[in-house]
Amino acid sequence: MRAYFAILKDSYREAAASLVLWLALGGILLLLLALLPIGLLTAANTGLRHQELIDPEKFVKALSDGPSAPQTPEGHIWSLLNAKQQEQFVEFTKAEKESDGRRGQRGGGVRRIVVNTVNELIKKPEFYNAIAFGKIELDEELRSPDAESLAVDVRSHRNLRRLEKAFAGYISVNERTALSLTYAGFDITGPLPILPSQMKQAIDSIITIVLGFFLGIVGVFASLLFTATLIPRTFEPGEISLLLSKPVYRAWLFLTKFLGGCVFTLICATLLVTGIWLLLWVRLEMWRPELLWCIPLYVFLFSIYFSVSALTGAIWRNAVVSLILVILFWLGVTLIGVAHNSMNELIVKARRVSEISANGGEVFAVDGGRTVLRWDQAIGDWVAVPQNAGGDQLPAFLQRLIFSGNRFRVSVSSDGKRILALQPAMTRMGGSGPATILSGNADEQYELQQESQTPESMFGIYQTADGDVLLPGPRGIYRFVGQTDQERKAQTFIKGIFGGLLSSSSAKAFENLTDKGFPAIVAGSSVAFNPADNSFVALNGGELRRVNRTAEGKYVAGETRDLQWKESAILAVGGNIAIIARADGKLLALDATTFELIAESMLPNGEKPRVAECALDGSSAAVLTHQGAVLVFDGVARKFLPWVPRESGYASAMAYNDKLQLMVVDNHRGVRLYNVATQTSSAQLPGSVDLPCQIYDYVVAPLHAVLPKPSDLDNAVQWIVTGEKSVEIKTDSNGGNTEANLEAERLTFNVWNAVASNLAFIAVMLGLGCLYIARSDF
């Protein structure tokens, strides 16, 4: 081994003698020195953050109603607005009525304007008026008038707290402190528009970008330029003859030279990553030793490209040819990666069944393109349900992205004759807004028609066995009583004129089944319907709350239990079983009445849950993860089963039918029905797979699987930095719920798959190199 260590040592010497290395190290040091003075300053919060305005619609509406009540905070604040601002706010309230999905995309801008206006107002000494805020419950400090000489920051902080008290339903200040970015002790940003608790997330993103750019792109290219000559030079006649005359094995010589070539990257990556790690530790007091894993990771990334460089360098013994071939390889794998991802996003996911539901002998599914499908027993395949949604529809890909956080599933009536779905919309203010009910009847081939708009954003739509349509919302449980013929005709007429741009909520179409004082179910809760007793269970931040149905058909708040956790979770209820799947992978089976724990388990490999479902009678329950794994709970044996359906690992949807069978959809459109009690498959619905999907399955995906995926290693960096194996593909524009939305489509970091395929590729390249060298004359 002495000889091979000598080669490694020589590689180190060569790198150390290189001007390129010293230039690279100098650049990294300059970058680290430039970052060194950066620090964070924690101070009292002096401004409203975007996500803290939880209900912009109501807030703007309240302010615009201010003139009618001048001695209130609304009236006082309205009077502080200038004419232009007042006009703008009035315009917002009018425009809000025109909400539809597309307008919602501009909502972030409106929210920004409102927040910025408020932040300007709270700096003013006249913001606080003791008479206007007289009826608001304020503590002694806030109640006493501010001194004229009070610093602006202090005044803003106080006024912000007064504002929050006055508009408790619309504004929720998450944290009393704010962070500012400092450079050499100087505040350079003022209070940042993120919560201190979100700082880690923000810094993680910055680290991922910095490392990705400086090591993943610049570092790899610089290293390739530096090492392009290494192997060809080794195989020049004068050098290789000398080396091969020594008692060394050719293959080992090649492999050691390859490893030696990685020294350059190792040195650069070590300096940059260690520097950033130290900066985070010393300057920001963030202890992140896991960051150091990025060093071997970037060396690994470089070694993928260098393996190509080494092989071509050994064969052609020309640095320029070697470099050109590496760049071509880079372009090639990037193109295949892009083709794979594009087909996956635009074609495969759009056709993949993402939701399934069945009742009364009818099976319905929703694919990734949000097309409702019905299983046609006669032809043995899925048929698309026609949809008369009105207006221009967004492309399937965009719909999936924009409404990723809203499940679009079909509720089937117990006789299978009627289907209902909630079509989400976004408001001009940027939040999730009222949805439109779509309905279809068996008599009309289930063609989906737009019904009324819901009074507010709903958690779901459910049909009871006796035909009631129930919609749980933040302010109560609603019953959809349908439109009158007159209303329907009027809506059809309006649609005809305005192309579906306008739709309105019909107050008569919905009946709130809860009384005044019903505790709100906050946004971000997971709400489940129990068809056994028509009750609801809501889960938010570890608090479980039952909403019971009375004999009169009203809904009242029932038992609550604080489970003492803060993670996001999803919930399903059936019979006497409630199943909870937490973001950290923990599964809990509870008694649906008493909320007592029955059993607990964990999802495999830290996966995150996507769907939880319970059989109607609670005889079993199942959880589907974002990676397609299915875990089953036996409600009779009251334990989680080691048995899993054969589709587990690549299932795309899952639900129970009214015959208590578990329906599991494979990666495309095939459905298998399982009897959980016997753990056997009882029937199959073999949905057909069209040509583009077959091309993807049999050509693109295998090619992508076999070829290396260097770009996927960026995900590994994100995994290392954030500790998350998957992220939502859409950021939360609503901002109210900072916890993960588990039902939203997630981008899964298939880190080990990427590592394995890249490792296999390197092994093949080096194997070919060894073989070539072992069989060549020099």
Helix extents (H) in 212-249:
220-227, 230-234, 237-244
Nearer to other proteins, 243 or 768 (CB): 243
Q: How far is the CB of 318 from other proteins (least distance, A)?
A: 16
How far from chain centre, in Å, is Cα 665? 22
Q: How many chain residues touch other proteins (CB under 8 A)?
A: 27
CB atoms within 10 A of CB 33: 10
Among positions 505-544, residues that touch other proteins (CB under 8 A) are: none
Nearer to other proteins, 17 or 83 (CB): 17
* Residue whose tokens read 């880690």: 200
Q: How far is the CB of 242 from other proteins (least distance, A)?
A: 5
Q: How far is the CB of 249 from other proteins (least distance, A)?
A: 8
Q: What type of residue sits at position 202?
A: A
Q: How far is the CB of 23 from other proteins (least distance, A)?
A: 16
Task: Tell me the two tokens of residue 52.
Answer: 């803290």
Secondary structure element (H or E) that encloses residue 611, with its range = strand 609-614
The DSSP bridge pattern shows strands 418-423 and 372-376 to be: unpaired
Task: Verify binding: residue 194, other proteins, rule CB under 8 A.
Answer: no
Expressed in percent and rounded to 5, the helix, strand and coil fractions of the chain are: 45, 25, 35
Task: Verify binding: residue 237, other proteins, rule CB under 8 A.
Answer: yes
Instruction: Evaluate whether 310 touches 765 at the Cβ level (below 8 Å).
Output: yes
Among positions 241-280, residues that touch other proteins (CB under 8 A) are: 241-248
Q: How far is the CB of 25 from other proteins (least distance, A)?
A: 17
The DSSP bridge pattern shows strands 555-562 and 543-549 to be: antiparallel
Nearer to other proteins, 4 or 183 (CB): 4
Task: Verify binding: residue 13, other proteins, rule CB under 8 A.
Answer: yes
Nearer to other proteins, 259 or 435 (CB): 259
Q: How far is the CB of 12 from other proteins (least distance, A)?
A: 10
Specify the stretch interacting with other proteins by CB under 8 A; choose among 6-14, 157-165, 279-287, 300-308: 6-14
Q: How far is the CB of 230 from other proteins (least distance, A)?
A: 10
Instruction: Evaluate whether 54 touches 736 at the Cβ level (below 8 Å).
Output: yes
Specify the stretch interacting with other proteins by CB under 8 A; choose among 1-9, 486-494, 726-734, 765-773: 1-9
Which of 185, 238, 289, 517 is close enough to bind other proteins by CB under 8 A?
Answer: 238
Among positions 564-623, residues that touch other proteins (CB under 8 A) are: none
Task: Verify binding: residue 55, other proteins, rule CB under 8 A.
Answer: no
CB atoms within 10 A of CB 392: 11
Instruction: Evaluate whether 661 touches 619 at the Cβ level (below 8 Å).
Output: no
Q: How far is the CB of 262 from other proteins (least distance, A)?
A: 17
Task: Verify binding: residue 25, other proteins, rule CB under 8 A.
Answer: no
Nearer to other proteins, 239 or 515 (CB): 239
Q: How far is the CB of 775 from other proteins (least distance, A)?
A: 8
Task: Verify binding: residue 778, other proteins, rule CB under 8 A.
Answer: yes
Specify the stretch interacting with other proteins by CB under 8 A; choose among 12-20, 44-52, 392-400, 758-766: 12-20
Specify the stretch interacting with other proteins by CB under 8 A; choose among 2-10, 49-57, 258-266, 597-605: 2-10
Q: How far is the CB of 771 from other proteins (least distance, A)?
A: 14
Nearer to other proteins, 239 or 511 (CB): 239
Specify the stretch interacting with other proteins by CB under 8 A; choose among 175-183, 229-237, 646-654, 713-721: 229-237
Task: Tell me the two tokens of residue 176.
Answer: 């009393």
Closest C-alpha to 579, from 631, 534, 535: 631
Nearer to other proteins, 174 or 229 (CB): 229
Among positions 418-447, residues that touch other proteins (CB under 8 A) are: none
Q: How far is the CB of 245 from other proteins (least distance, A)?
A: 4
Secondary structure E strands in 393-512: 411-412, 418-423, 436-441, 448-453, 462-463, 469-473, 476-480, 510-512
Task: Verify binding: residue 3, other proteins, rule CB under 8 A.
Answer: yes
Nearer to other proteins, 12 or 565 (CB): 12
Task: Verify binding: residue 135, other proteins, rule CB under 8 A.
Answer: no
Please give the C-alpha separations between residue 278 and each of 254, 274, 598, in angstroms, as whole numbers: 36, 6, 46
- d(CA 611, CA 758) in angstroms, rounded, equals 32
Please give the C-alpha separations between residue 93 and each of 41, 66, 114, 357, 535, in angstroms, as whole numbers: 38, 13, 12, 38, 35
Closest C-alpha to 336, from 693, 689, 696: 696
Q: How far is the CB of 583 from other proteins (least distance, A)?
A: 53
Question: 570 φ, ψ to 5°?
Answer: -120, 160
Look at the alpha carbons of 63, 66, 72, 78 in this order and tell me if their dihedral is positive or negative: positive
Nearer to other proteins, 1 or 184 (CB): 1
Which of 87, 187, 236, 392 is close enough to bind other proteins by CB under 8 A?
Answer: 236
Q: How far is the CB of 247 from other proteins (least distance, A)?
A: 4
Task: Verify binding: residue 647, other proteins, rule CB under 8 A.
Answer: no
Q: How far is the CB of 8 from other proteins (least distance, A)?
A: 10
Q: How far is the CB of 311 from other proteins (least distance, A)?
A: 20
Task: Verify binding: residue 185, other proteins, rule CB under 8 A.
Answer: no
Specify the stretch interacting with other proteins by CB under 8 A; choose among 10-18, 77-85, 199-207, 496-504: 10-18
- Output DSSP code: residue 394: P
Instruction: Evaluate whether 449 touches 500 at the Cβ level (below 8 Å).
Output: no
Nearer to other proteins, 243 or 729 (CB): 243
Task: Verify binding: residue 777, other proteins, rule CB under 8 A.
Answer: yes
Closest C-alpha to 115, from 209, 51, 29, 66: 51
Task: Tell me the two tokens of residue 18.
Answer: 């290189």
Burial of 711 (0-12, 13-18, 19+ CB in 10 A): middle
Nearer to other proteins, 236 or 690 (CB): 236
Specify the stretch interacting with other proteins by CB under 8 A; choose among 68-76, 144-152, 235-243, 691-699: 235-243
Q: How far is the CB of 278 from other proteins (least distance, A)?
A: 30
CB atoms within 10 A of CB 653: 26
Which strand ranges, in their side-by-side order, compose the sheet holding 436-441?
Answer: 387-388, 448-453, 436-441, 418-423, 411-412
Q: How far is the CB of 13 from other proteins (least distance, A)?
A: 6
Nearer to other proteins, 249 or 650 (CB): 249
Task: Verify binding: residue 22, other proteins, rule CB under 8 A.
Answer: no
Please give the C-alpha separations between residue 380 and each of 666, 687, 714, 723, 739, in angstroms, as whole numbers: 16, 7, 43, 44, 42
The three-state (H, E, C) secondary structure of 483-540, written as one string:
CCHHHHHHHHHHHHHHCCCCCCECHHHEEECECCCCCCCCCCCEEEEECCCCEEEEEE
Nearer to other proteins, 9 or 646 (CB): 9
Contacts of 291 (CB under 8 A, 6+ apart): 207, 273, 276, 277, 280, 720, 721
Nearer to other proteins, 258 or 403 (CB): 258
CB atoms within 10 A of CB 205: 13
Q: How far is the CB of 319 from other proteins (least distance, A)?
A: 15
Nearer to other proteins, 643 or 778 (CB): 778
Contacts of 282 (CB under 8 A, 6+ apart): none
Q: Which residues bind other proteins (CB under 8 A)?
A: 2-3, 5-7, 9-10, 13-14, 17-18, 233, 236-248, 777-778
